[in-house]
Structure 1
Amino acid sequence: MKKILLASLGMMILLSSCVSQKKYAELETKQKETQDLLNSATVKLNTCLEDKATATSRLKTLEDQNAFLKANNQDLINNMGNLTTLTTKGAENLEKSLESLQEKDLTIRKLQDAITRRDSVNLSLVQSLKGVLGNLDDTDIQISVEKGVVFVSISDKLLFSSGSYNVTAAAKEVLGKVAKVVNNKPDFEFMVEGHTDNVPYSSGVLLDNWDLSAKRATSIVRILQNDFKVDPARMTAAARSYYVPLLDNDTAGNRAKNRRTRIVVLPKLDQFYSMIEEGMKDPAINK
């Protein structure tokens, strides 16, 4: 038996010694390729192990979140009824808010309509005044609308002599034209304002510019009442002295412009409210 083994071993040694150098090189190349494949597989395996660890951690996080959601699910179900109640109340509150906004919008539209009507009346009044006073020099009489109020400003030289409160004959013609317009507008009241410059009044029985401006205003009011039948209940006489100047009283020209009588045409408040009430009944507004 030993002889056979020794013979076989001898044959193997003999055969191995007979392997060519070319064959050996091929085997060595394949061994290197195999080693490279093994290294690549090892890298991929490590990557897969890292991905597995990440996935495992993510899975743990998701499991924790799932447990949290399950724990709170019943609370959400219990609160569902409360949320439904709150939603209903919220809808009711929203509906009330919308109704309130609609009411406010309606009120605003009614006020706007009343203001539009008032402005239309003022425009008609201005056109009437300019129609009867159109031949006068613009520097002597001016008609304007400010903040919904009509103003007629008449210069001092057209109405009075210097330092006097007696109305001139020429001024009565102008006042007669103004009276014609205001008599045709019975729904308006008006105020006659006397204005002076800042030169102290020092002649006659009057004390100062307050007195002078007051006397000029009452003189105009008396002319309108006595000569042109303007209802005295519609008029107010007001003194402004020199405290509401148009310009600084530093030149003769400026002082001349500050000496004036101003008629302020005022719509009656009850008439304005009537405009609002009338507007509230307008079908176009109440749509």
Structure 2
Amino acid sequence: MRLRALTIAAVAAMLGFTGCVSNKKYVALQAEHDSLQKQYNASQVELAETRANGKSLESLLAQARANNEELKRSYAALQKSLDNSINQNTQGNVNISKLVDEINASNRYIKQLVDAKSKSDSLNLALTTKLTRSLDSSEMDDVNVKVLKGVVYISLADNMLFQSGSYDVNSRAMETLGKIAKIIKDYGDYDVLVEGNTDPVPINRTNIRNNWDLSALRASSIVQVLQNDFGIDPSRLTAAGRGEFNPVADNSTEVGRQRNRRTEIIITPKLDQFLDLIDKAPETNEQ
């Protein structure tokens, strides 16, 4: 505005004194006017740019403030998420610790079972070796010794032990039973099950109803010989009859029926030892 006033005053002065100034001075004044006009125009442009820049700065400041608020909200959300993660991680550490304890307990239990099985296998092998070494070649024809699933089976042919249809033990079987009894005594931690087995041919005796009776009576006779003649603790002994229903060979042939007529002495680790291991099994806590 000041520049405009100066310009007007200069023009008025020029008009007032046109008659009394020289042409040279007029030209100088005109040049000065043009210069002032250019300065004025430049000032107007500069003013407009300054106003525009002021508005732009205000817009940037508003955007910056909005961004700052968004950052604050994001920070709060992240902090909450972090707190939740820390809490969950603490609970997870507790659960992992419990799981590790359960795994260690289970591993100890498995080791107990493996040790028990290894001990049983070793004892069974030693028992079998001792027994087979004690038998002579003639006895081995009528005695079969094997280990199956951790159990020792001694199978005795019935023609060595009994007369046909009888449950009285032959005197010639006593020597073999004595050798078996000695092995049984050496392994006092084992129980002994005696099972009688027959072929399916019906029996015709007044005091024996069927093959169930015969198999049970034969098993009972062997048990009593082991107890009374060789001093085996009767609490370790069990007698059982399986009749004709546990064959190991085809009953359609005489050879097969002869194999099925047998008495088995089954030597097993005491059941309560395994039950003790089961009782010691680690408990699992369900979450």
Say how many residue pairs are matched. 211
What corresponds to 1:255 in structure 2? 257
Query: Quick one: which of 171, 174, 199 aligns to 2:173?
Result: 171
RMSD, aligned CA: 2.5
Partners of 1:113 and 1:276 within 8 A in 2: no
CA distance in 1, matches of 2:144, 2:106: 39
Query: Quick one: which of 254, 264, 267 aligns to 1:265?
Result: 267
Q: What SS is found at the alignment partner of 1:266? A: strand
| 1:192 shift after superposition | 0.9
Partners of 1:192 and 1:220 within 8 A in 2: yes
CA distance in 2, matches of 1:131, 1:139: 14
Partners of 2:139 and 2:176 within 8 A in 1: no
Q: What SS is found at the alignment partner of 1:186? A: coil
What is the TM-score when the length of structure 2 is the normalising length?
0.67
What corresponds to 1:126 in structure 2? 128
Q: Which amino acid aligns with 1:154?
A: L
Q: What SS is found at the alignment partner of 1:189? A: strand
Indicate yes or no: 2:194 matched with 1:198.
no
Specify every segment of 5 or more residues in structure 2 that has no aligned partner in the other structure, as ranges. 1-66, 280-287
Q: Which amino acid aligns with 1:152?
A: I
CA distance in 2, matches of 1:125, 1:209: 32
Q: What SS is found at the alignment partner of 1:93? A: helix
| 1:240 shift after superposition | 0.6
CA distance in 1, matches of 2:106, 2:136: 43
| 1:226 shift after superposition | 2.1
Query: Quick one: which of 227, 230, 241 aligns to 2:229?
Result: 227
What corresponds to 2:17 in structure 1? none
Go from structure 1 to structure 2 and tell me whether the alpha carbon gap of 1:275 and 1:116 turns closer, same or farther (over 3 Å shift).
Answer: farther
CA distance in 2, matches of 1:120, 1:207: 43
Q: What SS is found at the alignment partner of 2:137? A: coil
Partners of 1:118 and 1:272 within 8 A in 2: no
Q: What SS is found at the alignment partner of 2:252? A: coil
Go from structure 1 to structure 2 and tell me whether the alpha carbon gap of 1:174 and 1:77 turns closer, same or farther (over 3 Å shift).
Answer: same
Q: Which amino acid aligns with 2:86?
A: T
Q: Which amino acid aligns with 1:140?
A: D
CA distance in 2, matches of 1:275, 1:120: 19
Q: Which amino acid aligns with 2:119?
A: R
Specify every segment of 5 or more residues in structure 1 that has no aligned partner in the other structure, as ranges. 1-65, 278-287
Indicate yes or no: 2:67 matched with 1:104.
no
What is the TM-score when the length of structure 1 is the normalising length?
0.67
Q: Which amino acid aligns with 2:135?
A: L
Q: What SS is found at the alignment partner of 1:152? A: strand
Q: What SS is found at the alignment partner of 1:241? A: coil
Higher mean alpha-carbon deviation, 236-245 vs 158-167, is at 158-167
Partners of 2:214 and 2:243 within 8 A in 1: yes
CA distance in 1, matches of 2:128, 2:197: 22
